[in-house]
Amino acid sequence: MVGAGFAGVGCVRRLERRLTEREAVITLLSPFSYQLYLPLLPQVAAGVLTPQSVALSLRRSQRHRTRIVPGGVVGIDTAAKVCVVRTISGEFVTEEYDHLVLAPGSVTRTFDIPGLAEHARGMKTLAEAVYIRDHVIAQLDLADASDDEQERAARLRFVVVGGGYAGTETAACLQLLTHNAVKRYPRLDPSLIKWHLVDIAPKLMPELGDKLGAAALDILTKRGIEVSLGVSVASVDEKTVTLTDGRVLPSRTLIWTAGVAASPLIGTLGSETLRGRLVVSAEMDVPGLDGVWALGDAAAVPDLAKGEAGAICPPTAQHAMRQGKAVADNLVAKLRGERTRPYTHKDLGLVVDLGGLDGVSKPLGVELHGAPAQAVARGYHWAALRTNVAKTRVMTNWLLNAVAGDDYVRTGFLASKAGTLRDFEYTDAYLTPEQVREHTGSFRGAVGSGGGH
Ligand SMILES: Cc1cc2nc3c(=O)[nH]c(=O)nc-3n(C[C@H](O)[C@H](O)[C@H](O)COP(=O)(O)OP(=O)(O)OC[C@H]3O[C@@H](n4cnc5c(N)ncnc54)[C@H](O)[C@@H]3O)c2cc1C
C-alpha cells in the first residue's frame, strides 16, 4: 500500500479485517506516521485546532499486523514488481509486491506563473498549515514593530488564490485569526489588515450551487474580505503580488490553493492518465499493469453514480475513504478467485466551515448557511474522525478555543525553511525510469532468469 491518507488507511484497515495473516502480508509505505484529516487543516492554520488533533496515529488504529515502512515511494518498476522507497533517513530500499495499491493522493496544482514556485505557500500538509500560521503571526509581529507605513501595510495584506472550498475556508479562518489578534497589537491600525480571495472562475465554490455560493460571498464580504472573481495572479515576488486585472498588491503572503494535481509518482509510471490522474477501471485496477490498483485523488475512478459517460469521481475525502474499502474488497475477491465489483457512490454533498459561527453546507441536497451550516460541517467532520482519541482532541480544542480564544504564538520550528511547495510537498523527489532500474536491476535479473519472488 502506497500512501496513508483517506484512501490508503481505509483500504489497509479493511484488508487487516478481512485477510488472515496466513493469506497476506500487508506493508504500508508512508513518509508520515499519521493519517492527516485534511478538511480540518484550515482550522490548524487558524489556531482553532492543534496540529496533533488532526494527525491520526497509524499505530493506534492498526491491529499491529501491517508492517509500516517510514518513507516515500520514489519510483516503481512494474515489470519487476518492485517499489523503490526513500526512507525518512534518506536511504533507498526496495519493496517487492504481488499486489500494489497506489493511494499517494495529490499535491497543490501550480501553473507557470513567474515567482510562484519561490513565493507561493500551500495548504495541503500539516507542515504547510503550521508554517502559514507562523508566517501570518510573524507578519503581525513585524508590522507591529515597524515604523515604516508602507512596510506595515504590505505585511498586513494577505492574498489567497482559489475559490474552492479549501481556499475559501483558508481565507475565512485566517481572516478571523488576524481580526481577533489585533486586540493584542495595540500599535496596529485594524483597518490596515486586508484579505483578498482571488479566483479565475466566475463563482465561489460552484459545486454548492448559485444560492450557497452567493451566501458564502456575502459572509466573506461582510467580514471585509475582498473577493475578486475572474482574476488570477500574473506574477509574484518577495514584496508584491500582481493580478491579471493589472492591480499590483504590496504583500508578503500568497497562499495558493488553486486546485490539486495527482501525486508526481503517477507521472513516473508512464501509464495512461486523465487530467493527470491514473486511468483505472471501475473496479480500480490499472489496465495493462498486473497486480496494480489505484484510487483516491491520484486516480481517475469512473463516477458511475453520476450516469454521465466519461465522468470521474471528484478528488474528495468522501470518495477516497469509500474507494479504500471497495479496493480492499476487490483485492480480497481477486485473491480468492471471486467476482470483483465496480465502485459506485452517490455524492452526499459538501460542508464548509467559515470559522466563528459561519458556514455553508449542502448535506444531501439541503441548503444551509450561517450557524446551522457550521454545526452540520463540524458534526460531519467530528463523526468522520477515525479514532475516539482524535474526536476527543478535536472537541476539546473547539471548546477551549470558543472559551479562551487563541494566544497567537509563533512556534518557530519551521522558520529555517523557505516553506515553498517543493519544500513541504516533495514535488521533485522522484526518480527517472533509468534511476528506478538501477535500484531494481537485481530483481529484473531474477525475473528474467526465471527466478520468482
Ligand atoms: C484544505 C482542504 C480541505 C478539504 N476539505 C474537504 C472536505 O471538506 N470534504 C472532502 O470530502 N474532501 C476535502 N478535501 C479533499 C480531501 O482531503 C482529499 O480528497 C483526500 O485527502 C484524498 O484522499 P487520498 O487518500 O487520495 O489522499 P491523501 O489523504 O492526501 O493521502 C495521501 C497520502 O499519501 C502519502 N504520500 C504521498 N506521496 C507518497 C509517496 N510517494 N509514497 C508514499 N506515500 C505518499 C501522503 O503523505 C498522504 O499521507 C480537502 C482538502 C484540503 C487540502
Q: What would the pLDDT profile of 180-195 be if each residue is shown by its tens digit?
A: 999 999 999 999 999 9
Average pLDDT over residues 72-81: 97
Q: Which of 2, 6, 132 to mutate to test the pocket of ligand 1 (most atoms within 8 A of CB)?
A: 6
Q: 218 C-alpha to center of ligand 1: Å?
A: 29
Q: 10 C-alpha to center of ligand 1: Å?
A: 12
Do 282 and 151 belong to one domain? no
Strands 67-77 and 82-87: antiparallel
Nearest ligand 1 atom to the CA of 106 is 30
CATH of the domain at 16: 3.50.50.60
Nearest ligand 1 atom to the CA of 35 is 49
Q: 30 C-alpha to center of ligand 1: Å?
A: 13
Is 373 a domain residue?
A: yes
Domain holding 354, by residue range, is 116-258+349-411
Per-residue confidence (pLDDT) for residue 319, from 0 to 100: 97
Candidates 88, 116, 108; CA nearest to 242 is 116
Q: Which of 14, 32, 38 to mutate to test the pocket of ligand 1 (most atoms within 8 A of CB)?
A: 38
Instruction: Give the pLDDT band (50/70/90) at residue 446.
Output: low
Average pLDDT over residues 56-70: 86
Share of the chain above pLDDT 70, in %: 97
Flag whether pLDDT at 156 surpasses 90.
Answer: yes
Q: 420 C-alpha to center of ligand 1: Å?
A: 18
| Three-state DSSP class for residue 156 | coil
Do 182 and 322 belong to one domain? no
Is 75 a domain residue?
A: yes
Instruction: Give the pLDDT band (50/70/90) at residue 135.
Output: very high
Is 291 a domain residue?
A: yes
Q: 362 C-alpha to center of ligand 1: Å?
A: 21
Do 304 and 374 belong to one domain? no
Place of cell 484497515: 13
Flag whether pLDDT at 102 surpasses 50.
Answer: yes
Instruction: Give the pLDDT band (50/70/90) at residue 60.
Output: confident
Nearest ligand 1 atom to the CA of 32 is 47
Do 278 and 142 belong to one domain? no
Per-residue confidence (pLDDT) for residue 448, from 0 to 100: 46
Per-residue confidence (pLDDT) for residue 169, from 0 to 100: 97
For 407-419, the pLDDT digits (tens) are 899 998 877 788 8
Instruction: Give the pLDDT band (50/70/90) at residue 62.
Output: low
Nearest ligand 1 atom to the CA of 265 is 41
CA atoms of 310 and 399, how far apart (whole Å): 45
Q: 106 C-alpha to center of ligand 1: Å?
A: 6
Q: Residue whose CA is closest, atom 8 of ligand 1?
A: 39
| Three-state DSSP class for residue 148 | coil
Candidates 69, 60, 63, 59; CA nearest to 17 is 63
Do 125 and 271 belong to one domain? no
Q: Residue whose CA is closest, atom 19 of ligand 1?
A: 316
Sheet-wide strand order for 349-353: 349-353, 359-363, 368-369
For 336-389, the pLDDT digits (tens) are 999 999 999 998 989 999 998 999 999 989 999 999 999 999 999 999 999 999
CB atoms within 10 A of CB 307: 7
Do 341 and 354 belong to one domain? no
Do 251 and 154 belong to one domain? yes
Q: Residue whose CA is closest, atom 38 of ligand 1?
A: 104
Per-residue confidence (pLDDT) for residue 447, from 0 to 100: 55
Q: 401 C-alpha to center of ligand 1: Å?
A: 26
Total domains in the chain come to: 2
Do 233 and 271 belong to one domain? no
Q: Which of 34, 100, 108, 316 to mutate to test the pocket of ligand 1 (most atoms within 8 A of CB)?
A: 316
Is 418 a domain residue?
A: no
Per-residue confidence (pLDDT) for residue 449, from 0 to 100: 41
Extended beta strands in 14-172, E state: 27-30, 34-36, 55-57, 67-77, 82-87, 92-96, 100-102, 106-108, 120-121, 157-161
CA atoms of 175 and 225, how far apart (whole Å): 8
Average pLDDT over residues 138-145: 96
Place of cell 450557524: 371
Is 101 a domain residue?
A: yes
CA atoms of 20 and 14, how far apart (whole Å): 11
* CB half-sphere exposure, 359, CA atoms < 13 A: 22
CATH of the domain at 124: 3.50.50.100
Q: 450 C-alpha to center of ligand 1: Å?
A: 39
Nearest ligand 1 atom to the CA of 41 is 1
For 210-244, the pLDDT digits (tens) are 999 999 999 999 999 999 999 999 999 999 999 99
Q: Residue whose CA is closest, atom 35 of ligand 1?
A: 3
CA dihedral of residues 49, 314, 68, 332 (deg, nearest 10)? 140
Q: 176 C-alpha to center of ligand 1: Å?
A: 25
Candidates 65, 15, 99, 38; CA nearest to 317 is 38
Do 195 and 226 belong to one domain? yes
CA atoms of 322 and 111, how far apart (whole Å): 31
Per-residue confidence (pLDDT) for residue 444, from 0 to 100: 67
Whole-number mean pLDDT of the chain? 94
CA atoms of 376 and 370, how far apart (whole Å): 10
Do 150 and 213 belong to one domain? yes
Q: Residue whose CA is closest, atom 39 of ligand 1?
A: 104
Is 56 a domain residue?
A: no
Do 81 and 104 belong to one domain? yes
Is 125 a domain residue?
A: yes
Q: List, as one string, the DSSP characters of 197-227.
A: EEESSSSSSGGG-HHHHHHHHHHHHHTTEEE
Angle among Cα 387, 301, 321 to the nearest 5 degrees reads 5
Q: Residue whose CA is closest, atom 37 of ligand 1?
A: 104
Is 333 a domain residue?
A: yes
Do 237 and 301 belong to one domain? no
What residue ranges line ligand 1, CB within 6 angstroms?
A: 2-8, 29-32, 38-39, 41-42, 72-73, 103-105, 123-124, 165-166, 263, 265, 296-298, 315-318, 320
Q: 38 C-alpha to center of ligand 1: Å?
A: 6
Average pLDDT over residues 244-270: 97
123 vs 450, higher pLDDT: 123
